[in-house]
Amino acid sequence: MGLPQRVRRDGPIRFFFDESALGIGQVMATARSDCVFPTHPRSPIRAGTDDADWIPEASSRGWIVVGRDKKIRTRPAEWAVLAQYPLRMLVLTTVGNLDVWGQLRVLVACWDRIEELSTAPAPWMYAVTKNGLREMEYPR
């Protein structure tokens, strides 16, 4: 058995982990070259960027956004931006009390289904839970 292959660092970015999921984003970016987060060298979105500013950027690039902020849908300003800029979004909803390892286990358990969804056109939003994926209402 040989050594694991190195993760490519020059392929297309497909997944953006927002600051609410920074820890899990860092782990995923270590394992997968298509994942970035706000402090990642390949991310044009910097740490501390307001949701209203990074959402249009992520939307224009066609990224799938992963976050833990389930309240993003209840804030009028973010709701309006989401309605204007179609995203494909995964919200880790039942992992609030889990450490990064627990969050990673939940996310990876759903990964095959996430890959199936990754080709579906925007907008869509799914909750990622211990029981799998559940479609959420996307603002229109």
Tens of pLDDT along 45-97?
A: 999 999 899 999 999 999 999 998 767 767 778 888 999 999 999 999 865 67
- Angle separating helix axes 51-61 and 76-84, nearest 10 degrees: 20
Q: Could you write out the three-class secondary structure of 57-119?
A: HHHHHCCEEEECCHHHHCCHHHHHHHHHCCCEEEEECCCCCCCHHHHHHHHHHCHHHHHHHCC
pTM score of the predicted model:
0.89
CB neighbours of 33 closer than 8 A, spacing ≥ 6?
A: 7, 8, 9, 10, 11
127: closest CA among 118, 136, 119, 138? Answer: 136
The pLDDT value given to residue 9: 65
Give the whole-angstrom CA distance, residue 131 versus residue 94.
Answer: 9
| Residue entry with tokens 């292959």 | 5
Structure confidence at residue 98 as a pLDDT band (50, 70, 90): confident
